[in-house]
Structure formats: C-alpha cells, structure tokens
Amino acid sequence: MSLTVEKGLEGKEKPHEAINVPNRGYIDLPKGTIVEVPAEVSPKGIKPLHVELPREALVPLRVQAEIQRLSSEGAAEGNVEKVIKAVLLDPVVHDAEAGLRAMAELMRAHLDALPQFDEGDVEEIEGWIRA
C-alpha cells in the first residue's frame, strides 16, 4: 500500500489515487472487467469514482477487455482455443504467426507451472503456424 493511501485511510490526507478494481459501472465497459479509475481515500475506505470517457476511446478498450477475458478464461480453463483467439484478436500482435509462435514457446517452457495445458495444446497452437 502506498504511503499516500495509508495517510488517506488514517484521515491525515484526502488523496485521490488511481486504483485497479473490478468494474461496477465506473467506466462504460463490461461488468467485472478490471479497470483503473481514480478513487477517494478516507478513513471510511477507498471509494472508486465514475469516469466518463469519450465513446471513441471506449472502442479499443472494449476490444482489449474482450482479449483479456479470453486470455484469462483460456488460462483458467485450460482452453487453448480461447488462448489462440486472444492472440489472433490482439491488435498489438502485428504478426499472427510470430504471436502464436511466442505463445507456443512460452507455454512449452512453462508446462510444469501450467497443469491445465499439455504438449498437445502446444502442438495445437503450432498447427496454426505455417512451416
């Protein structure tokens, strides 16, 4: 916890801090999406504040929210199809094959820490890469 937040909770200051919280209507994005919003900090606790963003700014944020949903669900469920979709949908991945290759390499290197995946899942990702 930052010193500023600590002082706010103690009532020594009344800071506004940026915090990451599940969206509960703070931003016009899907409910439950983790969002960074300003918050009031006081002895009563931390109160996230509503943020109004221009409609055009919400379009790329909604795309990223969907990619993050696919990524996290794919990882939690061991669903390689969702992982592949997340890589292919991400606009920051300019080369789909390179993105899939990187995902396959990372997954293979860490299979011991990813019991929900196996070598067959890595091979499925590699199947999307042209030789």
Given pLDDT bands bounded at 50, 70 and 90, which one contains residue 35? very high
Residues 64 and 11 in one domain: no
Residue 27 shares a structural domain with residue 88: no
How many domains is the chain built from?
2
> pLDDT at position 95, please?
97
pTM: predicted TM-score of the whole model, two decimal places: 0.77
Quick check: 28 and 53 in contact, CB under 8 A?
yes
Query: Which CB contacts under 8 angstroms, 24+ apart, belong to 51-55?
Result: 51/26, 51/27, 53/27, 53/28
* In a shared domain, residues 37 and 70: no
Residues 60 and 106 in one domain: yes
Please tell me the distance from the alpha carbon of residue 92 to that of residue 31, in angstroms, as a whole number: 24
Whether 35 and 18 share a structural domain: yes
Residues 65 and 104 in one domain: yes
33 & 64 share domain: no
Question: Dihedral angle at the C-alpha atoms of 112, 116, 117, 118, nearest 10 degrees?
Answer: 70
pLDDT of residue 41: 84
Give the pLDDT score at 45.
84
Residue ranges making up the domain that contains 67: 55-126
Q: Give the C-alpha separation, 97 to 93, whole Å.
A: 9
Alpha carbon distance 59, 51 (integer Å): 15
Residues 114, 59 share a domain: yes
Characterize the bridge pairing of strands 34-42 and 45-48. Answer: antiparallel
Tokens for 32, please give them: 């439950």
Does 37 reside within a domain?
yes
